[in-house]
Amino acid sequence: MAALATPGYDVIIVGSRVAGSATTLLLARQGLRVLALDRSRFPSDTLSSHQVQLPGIARLRRWGLLDRLRAAGTPATREIRLDPGEVVLAGRYPPYDGADALYSPRRVLLDATLVDAAREAGAEVREGFTVDELVWERDRVVGIRGREHGGAQVTETASLVVGADGKRSLVAEAVAAPTQRSHPASTFACYTYWSGVPLPVGELYQRPDRTVAAFPTNDDLTMVYVAGPAADFPAFRADVPGRYLAALDGCGDLGARVRGGEQAERFRSTPDVPNRIRVPHGPGWALVGDAGLVLDPITGQGIGNAFRDVELLVEAIVAGLDEGGRIDARLAGYHARRDTMATPMYDLTLDLASFRPPGPAERRLFAALQGRSAGIAQLLSVFAGVLPMDQFRAPGNLLRLVGPGNLARIAAAELRHRARRGRAGS
């Protein structure tokens, strides 16, 4: 096969929601020739957990975009009320890299803000464009073929094609990206928006078969999210309003407060919440966002994970293209760094999505943390994706947070629990 002419672009990015538009933005700011494509037009909505955790907010601040979200009326959430069932832990997020709050922007705002910023940086963004297939030269991806709505098929070439096209990624399927870890969906998700339900703090509830989250979002609305075991979805779908409100009724007075407001939009429900880590690179291609790493939304990490991986990927691309011929080695480094950073939250997400009831040691720990602001702040930093759970639960750390007496009681509860499991197993 004859070699293709000089690529038309340095990078083509398939998908222009949070992962794709952020990648486009940062590459364009580095002076690269970038083409971004998306079958949608912006602004437009998509299913989302909404939360941008502290690390993601820190990145938006560095990129100069946080003020745009604030100016559009996106409220900050600095305090959280965590109710795991037997106690209530109320606290504030500890500052992280200039961020002290999470935000829950509507995707119709967040995605359009990133797309606009990418264009301002000099990237070409084509909306309403469907990618039909990848273009190959021997075993290397060198471009795409696709068309705008109603238009003729065109071919565009690049040194690298990035799939940022979601968990059902065409790019990932076309290159047969290997799966490193995969766990089928174990939950379903359902949310909608309510007016007249003001929230001074974010609220998180863990119940035996439900997780509920309530956070303020744009337009003076409150987003209220319910998750449950996947096996319950058929019954839930048969009566979404009734089952949804019943879940809220099990969360203190949240059900009553929501009934005192007004539902602003339709329910959005899905059982399609898999957990998967793919190999994110190969000859001429890379993956970012849900295309490479997707988690159950029960931990609200999707947007923050995407922003983290975008920065890792952009660093690898810029260095690899500058070095000439070393892009594959740099992408291998992106892969390794992503996996190191993603694994702790992947494991925590699987645990929370199992609806495993808290053990005796965990209940003791929650009780010991009540009223201890430093300990609650650290626990919140775990759920924000800042601090790995194993570091939080390290004996030396817990000793500082809850004191020797409480630590001894936690350890004794864990030993008794293990002994009972051992006797049951025998």
Identify the pLDDT of residue 325.
72
Co-location of 226 and 286 in the same domain: no
Identify the pLDDT of residue 426.
56
pLDDT tens, position by position, 3-38: 456 899 999 999 999 999 999 999 999 999 999 999
244, 207 contact by CB (below 8 A): no
The C-alpha atoms of residue 299 and residue 305 are separated, in whole angstroms, by 11
Co-location of 220 and 280 in the same domain: no
Overall number of domains in the chain: 3
CATH assignment of the domain containing 237: 3.30.70
CATH assignment of the domain containing 341: 3.50.50.60
Co-location of 246 and 309 in the same domain: no
Co-location of 116 and 178 in the same domain: yes
Q: Tell me phi and psi for residue 182, to 5 degrees.
A: -155, 135
Co-location of 406 and 364 in the same domain: yes
Co-location of 261 and 195 in the same domain: yes
pLDDT tens, position by position, 123-167: 999 999 999 999 999 999 999 999 999 899 999 999 999 999 999
Q: Tell me phi and psi for residue 246, to 5 degrees.
A: -60, -40
Domain that holds residue 280: 9-48+107-183+275-346
Q: Which two tokens stand for residue 216?
A: 């303020």
Q: What is the DSSP letter of 99?
A: B
Q: Which helix (H) or strand (E) holds 353?
A: helix 327-353
Co-location of 255 and 283 in the same domain: no
Co-location of 14 and 155 in the same domain: yes
Identify the pLDDT of residue 322.
87
Identify the pLDDT of residue 424.
65
> Which residue stretches of 30-176 are H helix?
54-62, 66-71, 107-120, 170-174
pLDDT band at 421 (very low <50, low <70, confident <90, very high): low
Q: Which two tokens stand for residue 352?
A: 């929370």
Q: Which helix (H) or strand (E) holds 137?
A: strand 129-137
pLDDT tens, position by position, 289-338: 999 999 999 999 999 999 999 999 999 999 999 887 789 999 999 999 99
State yes or no: pLDDT of 268 exceeds 70: yes
Provide, rounded to the nearest whole percent, the portion of the chain with pLDDT above 70: 97
CB contact set of 202 (below 8 Å; sequence gap of 6+):
77, 79, 80, 81, 102, 213, 214, 215, 216
Average per-residue pLDDT for the chain: 95
342, 277 contact by CB (below 8 A): yes
Tally DSSP H helices, then E strands, for the chain: 14, 21
49, 303 contact by CB (below 8 A): yes
Co-location of 337 and 369 in the same domain: no
